[in-house]
Amino acid sequence: MRTQVCIIGGGPSGLLLSQLLHRAGIDTVVVEQRTRDYVLSRIRAGVLERGLCNLLRKAGVGERMDREGLVHDGTLIAAAGRQFRISFKDRVNDSVVVYGQTEVTRDLYAARDAMGGLVIHEAEGVTLHGVDTDHPHVTYRKDGTEHRIDCDWIAGCDGFHGVSRKTIPDTVRTEHEKVYPFGWLGILSETPPVNHELIYANHARGFALCSMRNPALSRYYVQTPLDDTVEAWSDDRFWDELRRRIPAESAEALVTGPSIEKSIAPLRSFICEPMRWGRLFLVGDAAHIVPPTGAKGLNLAASDVHYLHLALEAFYLHNAPGEVDLYSERALARVWKASRFSWWMTSTLHRFPDQTDFDQRLQEAELAYLEQSEAAQTALAENYVGLPY
């Protein structure tokens, strides 16, 4: 098989890149290790920056998002038993959209099907060859048969544990990592959200987040130790702990119910440099991970897709091959800025194991300053809705 761009990974970043390139007349094949049902079963956050919303519209998959997504013009910050609101509209005249990542992926799959895009699922033993030459290719096994895809370029959209990043030699690849000493216990419940906007809560017992997927489906989180287990948390224990960590006015309004999904996620900041080697580009979680505080994971993957699809369009359509050489530099500049914001949100809102009462009071003072300072609110708002591409 021959294609122009072979995309490793059938998650939202791989599908979005494939869709954008297809609409520009550039041929792609997507290779995914898992089944489509598995990909669509993954529960992920769904706060979409303005840049990602515009990119989905450009790809022709924004209609359902625009119809069903929840537009958020601000967010709530809680600390020391009270909460305040930061208005994105007032500070930067912009907003975000709450629309689940699963729904984004579902829309992208539908678009690829409608355009006849080739997505190969259950591809085992995916291996990248000749990445440092002008003639790379990808091999994989499916139904017991070995297959080969020759291509001009390979886009590694296969996540943190995928094969793409590991294809770059250790002598070329530099990895930066910060592992946080806690995780997030999250539950999904078929209950109305406690507020129509997100609540980020700092508390001496640990961080909490009140979020949602839609008006009838809520997503809540509490900070837990790394060695904690889901089995140790009954629904009743979770709801009791969440009430303790959010202000009384929200705790009283909280509607509880049985959880339909419950999991613990560790938090880390991770960045791989460079994001291009030879004919291979890294995209999304294959190159970088951010803690979910600030909702930058999917949005950072989208900004990578933005830079890469324009570079490949320049290469194929405008006789401008130099644009691909700038991909890594451009993507990493935005990655580091978004990682700084996620680190700041995480450091300011969470309880660290060695944290003293002094440290807690400093966090509360930081948030009190945020409440009173238009400049500080503007800085948070412009990062939260997304820095420009």
Indicate the residue type of 153: W
202, 324: one domain: no
Give the residue from 108, 178, 154, 136 showing the smallest Cα distance to 336: 178
Q: What number of other Cβ atoms are within 10 A of residue 163's Cβ?
A: 18
Angle at 364 between CA 358 and CA 367, to 5 degrees: 145
113, 228: one domain: no
The secondary structure of 273-301 as a DSSP string is E-SEETTEEE-GGGTEE--STTS-HHHHH
Q: Please pick, among 136, 291, 292, 307, the residue that the annotation labels catalytic.
A: 292
Instruction: Indicate the pTM of the whole model.
Output: 0.95
143, 59: one domain: yes
88 within a domain of the structure (yes/no): no
Contact 77, 84 (CB under 8 A): yes
Pairing of strands 5-8, 153-156: parallel
- pLDDT the model gives residue 8: 98
Domain count, the chain: 2
48, 137: one domain: yes
- pLDDT the model gives residue 109: 97
66, 192: one domain: no
11, 132: one domain: yes
Angle at 180 between CA 177 and CA 182, to 5 degrees: 155
164, 293: one domain: yes
Contact 28, 117 (CB under 8 A): yes
Give the residue from 329, 332, 326 showing the smallest Cα distance to 288: 332
Between CA 375 and CA 108 the distance in angstroms is 38
84 within a domain of the structure (yes/no): no
- pLDDT the model gives residue 368: 97
357, 237: one domain: yes
Point out which residues pair with 296 in neighbouring strands.
Answer: none
Q: What number of other Cβ atoms are within 10 A of residue 144's Cβ?
A: 6
Residue written as tokens 């592992």?
179
Contact 192, 216 (CB under 8 A): yes
Q: What number of other Cβ atoms are within 10 A of residue 258's Cβ?
A: 9
- pLDDT the model gives residue 82: 92
Q: Please pick, among 12, 22, 72, 99, the residue that the annotation labels catalytic.
A: 72
77 within a domain of the structure (yes/no): no
CATH of the domain at 374: 3.30.9.10
Contact 334, 299 (CB under 8 A): no
Between CA 290 and CA 288 the distance in angstroms is 7
50, 188: one domain: no
Contact 44, 101 (CB under 8 A): yes
295 within a domain of the structure (yes/no): yes
163, 62: one domain: yes
Does the active-site annotation cover 166? no
Does the active-site annotation cover 389? no
Does the active-site annotation cover 384? yes
Pairing of strands 137-142, 124-129: antiparallel
Angle at 337 between CA 336 and CA 339, to 5 degrees: 60
Does the active-site annotation cover 200? yes
87 within a domain of the structure (yes/no): no
Q: What number of other Cβ atoms are within 10 A of residue 67's Cβ?
A: 8
The secondary structure of 248-265 as a DSSP string is HHHHHH-----EEEEEEE
85 within a domain of the structure (yes/no): no
**pLDDT tens, N- to C-terminus, the chain (389 residues):** 999 999 999 999 999 999 999 999 999 999 999 999 999 987 777 899 999 999 999 999 999 999 999 999 999 999 999 999 999 999 999 999 999 999 999 999 999 999 999 999 999 999 999 999 999 999 999 999 999 999 999 999 999 999 999 999 999 999 999 999 999 999 999 999 999 999 999 999 999 999 998 899 999 999 999 999 999 999 999 999 999 999 999 999 999 999 999 999 999 999 999 999 999 999 999 999 999 998 999 999 999 999 999 999 999 999 999 999 999 999 999 999 999 999 999 999 999 999 999 999 999 999 999 999 999 999 999 999 999 99
Q: Please pick, among 140, 307, 327, 384, the residue that the annotation labels catalytic.
A: 384
370 within a domain of the structure (yes/no): yes
11, 116: one domain: yes
Contact 184, 38 (CB under 8 A): no
Q: What is the DSSP letter of 40?
A: H
Q: Please pick, among 99, 140, 200, 327, the residue that the annotation labels catalytic.
A: 200
Cβ-based neighbours of 104, under 8 Å, separated by 6 or more: 12, 46, 48, 56, 61, 65, 298
Indicate the residue type of 64: R
Give the residue from 29, 151, 149, 45 showing the smallest Cα distance to 104: 45
15 within a domain of the structure (yes/no): yes
Does the active-site annotation cover 220? no
CATH of the domain at 57: 3.50.50.60
211, 313: one domain: no
Between CA 101 and CA 295 the distance in angstroms is 11
Biggest CA pair distance of the chain: 64
Contact 286, 165 (CB under 8 A): yes
Task: Give the residue numbers spanning the domain of 233.
Answer: 178-267+351-384
Q: Please pick, among 137, 203, 288, 296, the residue that the annotation labels catalytic.
A: 296
